[in-house]
Structures are given as structure tokens and as C-alpha cells.
Amino acid sequence: MNRGAATLPPRLPSVRTAKCLLQTTSGCQLARAAPNPVRRPALTPVAFDRSFRWSGSPDLWQGRWCSSSAGSSSSSSSGKGGKPGKTEEDVAVTSELADQASAKAETSSTAATEASVESTSATSAEGAEGGAAAGATSDETGGTETLWALPLFRKPTFPGIFHSIQIGDHEIFNFLRELKNSGQGDNLAGFMTKELPKGLEKEDVAEPLATTSQPSSSSSSKADKRALRKDTGFIQGSEELVEVGTLLRVVSLSAHPSSPGGQVMLMPEERIRLVKPVAEPGTGHPLCKVSVEKLAPVVMSPDNQDIRALHHEIIAKMKDLLKTNYLYKDQYEQVVKYYNLDDALKLADLVAGMSSASRDELQAVLIEDDPVERLRKVLMIMIKDLEQAKLQTQFRTQIEDKFQKENRKYMLMQHLRHIKRELNLEKDDKQTVIAQFKEAIEKLDGVPEEATKAMDQELRRLSSLEPQSPEFSVSRTYLEWMTSLPWGKETEDNHDIVRAENVLNEDHYSLEDVKERILEHMAVSMLKGSVQGKIMCLVGPPGVGKTSIGKSIARALDRKFFRFSVGGLHDVAEIRGHRRTYVGAMPGKIIQALKITQVCNPVILIDEIDKLGRDFRGDPSSALLEVLDPSQNSGFRDLYLDAPVDLSKVLFVCTANVTETIPGPLLDRVEVIRLSGYVFEEKVAIANQYLIPQTMETHGIKEENIDLTPAALNELIRDYAREAGVRELRKLLEKIARKVALSLVREDEENRSKTTVTLENLKKFVGQPVHSSDHLFHDGMPPGVVMGLAWTALGGKTLFVEARGHLRNGQRSVLNGGSMNGDFSEEDKQHEDEKKEEKPRAPGSGARLKVTGKLGKVMGESSEIALTYARMFLKELNPGNTFLDEASMHMNMPEGAVPKDGPSAGVTMTSSLLSLALNKPVTPNLAMTGELTLTGKVLRVGGIKEKAIAARRENVGIIVLPLSNQADYMEIKPHLRAGLTAHFVDHFDDVYNLAFEGSGAPAIGKSRGSAVVTVVTSADEAAPVPGLTSWTLTEPPADSPSQQPSL
């Protein structure tokens, strides 16, 4: 019998089934036999790799195995699922098994059959067992053979299974062909390498080449473009080979027609062991020569229950793989039908040869001597293959289902469209679109002539394009934008000025100057019949209601409202649109506002224009110049539309926090309206009239569920929400409302009680106070400390300037009780004793002044001016006092982490230095601001309203301001400056007199400045605050200390 073969079952295969072929991949093939009643040896399947795809079956003729070339994909291969082919295909397959050198020539079916029989005559079991092959030497005493070793890179071979090896190196292939021609290469020793060569796992493994007798031109050209798979190659020596391999009988050699190398068909006979190397690879022989010995066959006990159980389990797994695995379906189908499954070990070799397991797992099966362990390892391999097959089947099913659903939907939509066209229910898409655009253009009114020509031209262009063309979508989108704009559509303005004023008062409390300016603008527009004029720009700190004022303007005028922010904007196209040459181009924000509002006269609020970006990417402020210029925006041309659009009827309103960062040309085109913020009374009124009702409504709280006392509201505003706006106050009220809502939900609806927020439990709802008084010294300010007034983006603030210093010769230390008259305290005397040994500085050597507080450049210069003028002023006042000329001084402005800059602290710094030198404190409850020159003049500063509000908030009764700011101060409403006494000066002499009045400091003569102007605003002029009540109708006790704010 043929080695590695088993007898077929008693049932003969049909002639039709016997015609099936095996397509080989990964170098493995299974031969199929024609029916023969005399002899029926079992078929021998071949191994395969992960890319295997099998659709054939073995062929037998007169008891000889018919070898077939690997990877056949010509007309000789069977159909899908192993269906039988035709008789002509059988002849072609038989010719494939002949020598590949004659495969290109056309031969008859008889000649091909004879060549097949001749090439495979050595495959019989008798020939295999008859003796050693030619070219192998035998050791009579030791039972060893000397063979050429063929290294195997990818996987080992198993006895009884054909194996196709791709040889990409022409030197090895030519060497094997020379051995074959000389009769010395019939047998080889196949050993797998211990390690996979580096880079081999990253290579693109091509499928085995098709080597049919008459390959088609298409398959030949496709094969020529592929690279041969690297199944074998050069090694350095025999030490790279494993110890156990298989004896390989060379069946055929076939050279590749276009690539170097070819393929060799091998039949593994039996397991062998490498004994010793005979010759290492060298010049003339790329393979090594080794001495091998045959391993004794493994003997199985017929009564071993473990072997039986494993054998049956392997057969069961094969049937499972047949059901689930598309990759192994043909192979296992042929095995189950035609292979003798009674021999467990041969079945194990068959399964291992067909498995896609790793090379190490397969080698472990090959070298295993224990039959039970061999079968167990094969079973584990099959279990892994089965799990992988199930996973692949799952993925395949998911993909096929998705594709079928999409394909079915597409086909149904095509049928539906065809039915609608047949019933005249739907016209062609292109003609329908064109008809819709023509109808929309006819309905437009007030379209400029240039825009009409542009739409007509684009419509003609659209009619000449195919719907599948990308230009068709571009033209269609352009016409959609042009026809959707509100050409000539506008809303009728409200001409009732009283109603407009009521709307503004309903939406905002206070802000009388802003409301008056808006009403003036409306009055001019009513008289003129257009809105052309100055563009309003609302400038103020965050949270004062700039955006809401824009909404109120639109509501007062009965116009549509649109808002967009330009903060951080760098792209000019966001204003003027993109050119249509770009992918995804669209108009700018101005045109989008007209499309959304569907009127040509909306109120457009451009927010945050002080935060416009300006860099190499563009300057959007330059694009806004045309938009905000009343003399130019009547013909605004968007880059996308490329047609004039009239923006003269649009009312533009801008907002900003500061004006310093607004570009000059843009600032010149707008009228600045400043919103300075709200004082305490205004915040109380806003909270009662607007914030509290809105918060209750948004949180679902009713009046009977909560009671916020006025004392708690006053504390909330004074110590928690001290910013210029009311945004933080809104957040605090929402925080209280959330806690109240949670307490209500936790209780039953019948047991819910009213939650009262008082001054005592306010911290339970909002935590500890965020702000405290800006006063650093509650018991009176020491010498060297003066209170100034500063402006910030969040409103006004009091700013202290403190100075300390001492003479290096130890005369005295200011702020430690030193005296100008030489009356030293005990601490001063001790300090003087410690400094006696120091070398005194020469008189007139100059003082040292250190300034801290994160000051800017302008404020640093102001400190130098203050020191210079204070020295000159002190010499005029008291020539004997040289403290400012000799002392080491340090001036600081808390808080150190807050950046500070500006010239308005000049008089404050000078007063601080003089207070330090004279060791006299300034008048308490006094704050000042003003820029100082070297000649003592006090110059104008900004932010008077914010500074006055900050002084009133901190209970400062007296403020000193520059004389040139008197008009700014008088513009402040009386109720905002109630309780303040303002002195307006234009020289530092008057500042000195006011600051050191009654302190015992030396007096000066006649002032060198103009007469001081004093404005006293009585506290009685403070306007009553409407709505200064509880959140509910409950009033607090009349003697509550927090009933009225302490101002």
C-alpha cells in the first residue's frame, strides 16, 4: 500500500463526484481519483495556510496518486462548493500533473494523462517502501541516510499530504532541478527552521501561482505581476533547523515563466530525525547535507479509551468546521466523504496539515511520540480553528446583512422612482429644480438689476450641466442662497416713541443716559425715514446688559433681531463670505443674518468687537469698515454672492468691554455709549424686578415656597456680588433656588413648607462671602498710607498706596513711632544703637525707592515723578527735612497679583511719600485720583463715574478729583453720588491742604492753583429704590439693622 494512504470506504464515489478538483493555496493540494473497482486507496489531502481556498477533490487512477500543481485557477478547477466539472476539465487536470516544463504547450488529453501517470509512478506505496531514493546514501550499520535538507520557513509538512513549496531564489531552484535531472534529487529532508526569518512576517504573502497546461492570458498576466511566496530560502547552517522533520519525495518541479525560481511539489513520506550535519551550505550547493534516521512508527493500543474518545471528538470537530467555516468547507467535505477516518494518527496528520495554526503548534504535533498527546494537541488546534471560523462567519454574516439591506433599499427606491415617472407623478430631477428656481425668481421683488442678471446667468449654466456633475451642486447652492434672501422685504418700524420708551423701561432698570440716546436715534430715524447715521457701540464691563439692550432696541422698533460674536475671529470670510472656488464655500455672517431673519431691515448686534483677531490669517476689522459705514454699506458685495446687497436699512449695534483694543478706523465709525455699571440700590431694584421673578420661573418655584428677606438680599449684593454688572448676582440667586428646589422635592407635597433665607442662614445657601471691604485699616490709616481710586474692566475700585522707609544712619524708622523732632521711642533708640557701627552715608547721596505691586510701565514712571516732586515740595515746606533725600523707601500697592497701570495714581503716590516723610497720616475717609506733573499740575483722568461709585460703595465721604473732570462728575445722576463731597483741584498744593488738614503737618502759603471747587451731594438725594422688599410680601422687622444699606 502507498505510505500515508488508507483504503476508501466500501461505498464507491460516483463518476460525477470523482471529477471534482482541488484548488490549492498556501502550497497544499489534495489529489482526486477516478472510480476504480479494483483498487481504492484513500485520498491524501494537503496542508494549507490562512489564505487557503479549496474547491476540488482528489483523483486516483490505477492505484497511483495524481499530483496537481498548486494554486490552479484555470478552467480545470471545479465550481464553488466542490461541484463536479466536465470531462474536458478532468483531462486538463491530468495534464497539470505532468512536468511543468511542457505546461505551456498544447497537448492532447491522452498525452496529458500519460505524462501524469509517468510523473506520479513513484507515488505508490510499494515504490515508497522499496528502498532509498536515488541520490541518497545509506549507512548499512546505523540505518541512516544522507540527504539534502530543504529548510521550511512557514510550517512543517506531515506524512501522506502533498505539499507545494514556492522557491523565490533561482539558485536553490536550479540546484534542485539539477539534482532531479541527474537522478539524485528524488528525496529531500524537510526540516522547519527554528526561527522565522526576520521580515518574513511583514511580507505580502502571494497566493500560489497557477500553472495549468493552457493558462489564459488574463490569469497569466495576473500571475506574472505577483511575487513568489517565500516558503524556503538560504540558511547559515544546519544548526538553524529543528531536530525532527519529514522525508520528502520530489514529485515535480515547475519554473515560473517570468519570475526567478518556481515551485516544487513534494510528498512527505515519514518522520525523520536529524543525526548530524554532513556538509554546510557553500559554493555550488546552497542547501546543507545532513545525515538523518527514520523514526519508528507510533504504535496505538486498540483498546485505549482515550484514543477512541479523542478520535471521535476530532471527527465531530471536523463536521462542525464543515458547517461553519467557509475557508475549510471544501477540504473537510472531501475528507468526510472519501477519507478513511478509522486510523486516528493518520487523521491527526491530515487535520494538522490543513490547520492554520502557528508553526510552533504544528511542530509540536509533528514531534509528539505519545499518540494520546498527539491527538490532544490536534484537538486543541481544531478547537481554535473552530472558534476562529465562528468569528469569521459572524463578521461575514453582519457584512452581508448590511449590504443586502442597503442594496434592497436602493433597488426599491429605483423602482419607486421609475413608477412615479411612469405615472407622471414625478418629473426629472434636473427639470424640477430648474422649474422651482424660475418660479422663485419670478416671485422676488426689489432685486437689483445686477443680482437678476447673475441669477439668470447661473440658471442657464445649471440647465447645461448634468445632475451628477460637481458644478451642478455649486450652481444649485448659489441659486438657493440668491432666491432665499429677503429682497425688498422689511418690517414696519414702530413710530410711537412713548411705546418704545415703555419697552426700554420694562426690560432695563436705570441706564437713563443709554435709553435717552436710543430714543434720540429712533426720533431721528422717524423724522428722516431711514436709519442711516452713527452706529451705536455699547461699551461697559461684563454683566451690565449690553446684549439685552440690543434685544430691547429690536423689540422697541418692532424689528427682527440677530446676534453674532466676532471675539477671536481671524477669518475675513466670516464677514465677507468665501469665494465660490473653494469647497464648502458659503456667504458671510451678514448675508446669513438676512436669510435667517427674512427681512432686509433687522437689528444686527455685533458682539465683542474689542476682541477681534488680527494676524497673518487676516484682519476682520477691515471688512467691518465697509459694513459699518453708512455711506458704503448700501452696495455691500459679499464674495460668495458677488452681487450688491443693500445694508443701509439694517440697524447695527456693537458691544465691547473696552475701547482701547478697538482698531482706530473702526472706532471712528461708531458712537460710543458707556455703561458704567450699577450701584447698590440699582442692583437691589434689578434683583426684585427682573432677576428674582425670572429665577423663580426657570426653577419652578412659587412665591409660597420661598422667602428671601431684604436683609439677606442686601448682604448678598454687598458681600457676594460686588462686580459692576448683575451676572454674578443672578448666579447666586440661581444657587439659592436650586437648594430650595432640592429641599422641596425631598419633602412630600403635603408637608412642604416655606423656606426663609435670612441673614443668619445665608451662608448655608451661598457659602462664605467672596468680597470683604477694600478698607485695609479700619481704625485709621497710619502715616504713609493713602487711598486712591482706580478704574477696572469690572468697574471702579479703591486702591491703597502704602510706603515705608528708614534712614540708614539710624535716626528713625517711620511707621514705628519715630518723630520728626528727634523724640525717639525706646525701639528707635535700640535701633540707633544697632546702627552706630555702620558707616553713615554722605548727605545728599540720594535715597533709594523700591516700588512693588505688579505695576505697569506708566505707573512706574508715575512713581518716579512722585518722588521727584515730593522732594522739591518737602524742601519748600520744611528745608531741614532730608528724609526723602537720604532714606531707603519701599512703596507697595496691594493686591500684588493684580496688574496695575495708568497715570491716575500720581497725586496718591506723592501724598503717600509726603505722609511718610512728615510722619503724619492723611485725613481719614478721603480718596483721591489724578495725574501729577513735575510742576505740580493735576491733570484729567478717566473713569470718574466708576471711581465715584466705588468710593460710595466703600463709604468714602470725601474724594479729590482733577478740576477738568468736574463736568464728568456732574453728569453722574444725583442718586449715584448721594452722600459724596467732591473737591476739584488743578494743583498739588490744594491736594496737600485737603489731605493733611487737621493732622498737624506744616502748612503752606497761598496755593499756586485755581480755586478749589467743592460739590456736596446730600444723602437725601438718593432715589428711592422700587421693589426694595422681600422675595415675597413678607416684610422684615422695622428695627432690622440691614433694612437700609450702610453707605
Identify whether the C-beta of residue 549 lies closer than 8 Å to the C-beta of residue 557. Answer: no
- Cα gap 67→32, rounded to integer Å: 9
Question: Around Cβ 914, how many Cβ atoms within 10 Å?
Answer: 30
3-state secondary structure of 719: helix
- Cα gap 1007→988, rounded to integer Å: 9
- Cα gap 302→960, rounded to integer Å: 118
Percentages helix, strand, coil for the chain (3-state, rounded to 5) are 40, 15, 45
User: Which grid coordinates belong to 466?
Assistant: 448634468
Run of H or E residues at 484: helix 470-484
377 is catalytic: no
Q: Which residues contact 382 (CB under 8 A, 6 or more apart)?
A: 314, 317, 318, 321, 351, 355
User: Which grid coordinates belong to 358?
Assistant: 502557528
Q: Which residues contact 503 (CB under 8 A, 6 or more apart)?
A: 552, 555, 556
Tell me which DSSP letter residue 934 carries: T
Active-site entry in 317, 560, 589, 947: 947
- Give residue 752's identity as a one-letter amino acid code: R
904 is catalytic: yes
- Cα gap 896→852, rounded to integer Å: 8
Identify whether the C-beta of residue 647 lies closer than 8 Å to the C-beta of residue 627. Answer: yes
- Cα gap 1033→1030, rounded to integer Å: 6
In 3D, which of 750, 965, 996 has the Cα closest to residue 874?
996
Q: Which residues contact 408 (CB under 8 A, 6 or more apart)?
A: none
In 3D, which of 476, 317, 474, 310 has the Cα closest to residue 389?
317
Identify whether the C-beta of residue 591 lies closer than 8 Å to the C-beta of residue 640. Answer: yes
Q: What is the dihedral of CA 792, 793, 794, 799, to 10 degrees?
A: -10
Active-site entry in 55, 68, 69, 904: 904
* Main-chain phi, psi angles of 244, to 5 degrees: -110, 130
- Cα gap 157→138, rounded to integer Å: 23
Run of H or E residues at 754: none
Burial profile 943-981: b = 16 or more Cβ within 10 angstroms, e = fewer: bbbbbbbbbbbbebbbbbbbbebbebbeebeebbbbbbb
Identify whether the C-beta of residue 126 lies closer than 8 Å to the C-beta of residue 242. Answer: no
- Cα gap 253→255, rounded to integer Å: 7
* Main-chain phi, psi angles of 120, to 5 degrees: -115, 15
Identify whether the C-beta of residue 238 lies closer than 8 Å to the C-beta of residue 274. Answer: yes
Give the ranges where 896-1018 is alpha helix by DSSP (H). Answer: 906-918, 944-953, 966-970, 988-995
Handedness of CA 743, 744, 749, 752 (dihedral sign): positive
3-state secondary structure of 665: helix
Catalytic center residues:
904, 947
